[in-house]
Amino acid sequence: MKFMSETATFAGGCFWCTEAIFQRLKGVEAVIPGYSGGDTQNSYEEVSQGTTGHAESIQIIFDPKIVSYEELLLVFFKTHDPTSLNKQGADVGPQYRSAIFYHSQEQKDAAEQIIKKLTDEKVFDKPIVTEVSEFKSFFEAEEYHKNYYNNNKNAGYCQVVINPKLAKLEKEFGEKLK
């Protein structure tokens, strides 16, 4: 019997990082890198200019009976810096902003509740600046961006930037990993 999947769309900096993180979670059936937040289909080169309105994003297809949207949100918030406006590490510009593109009122409410909880608990030293916006569109990234980490584990960026994020994921959410 096929499960009833749901879709989540997040932007948390470079989509190579976020794709690698969410691919490892139980209940996640697919993670697709792409662009969301803008109005038209653009290439990586155009999005990289920071003028398209898009953020490097991922679409997560998941089974809510195995992993809830709220659990995905917690992983999202704990594996990038949601207090950094238009910047993640060395990646700078609005295309690297922290954003949640919600697909339903329930997703919007969940995102706002998690942000309030993390703020109230003072989990971060600075205010959370994650954008919470209604999902408009998603355009898949070019083929060479898909499954990037798994295909390029020895690349410098993967070693220096993605590996520490995966180590943090394993430490914080080890029981949730495939």
Compute the distance between CA of residue 101 and CA of residue 8 in angstroms, rounded to an integer: 8
Question: Pairing mode, if any, of strands 138-140 and 6-12?
Answer: unpaired
91 contacts 14 by C-beta, under 8 angstroms: yes
Q: Which of 14, 20, 25, 128 is catalytic?
A: 14
Q: Any bridge partners for residue 12, and if so which?
A: 98
Comparing CA positions, the residue from 145, 66, 62 lying closest to residue 103 is 62
Residue 138 half-sphere exposure, CB side, CA atoms within 13 Å? 21
Helix (H, G, I), strand (E, B) or coil at 50: coil
Residue 14 annotated in active site = yes
> What residues act catalytically?
14
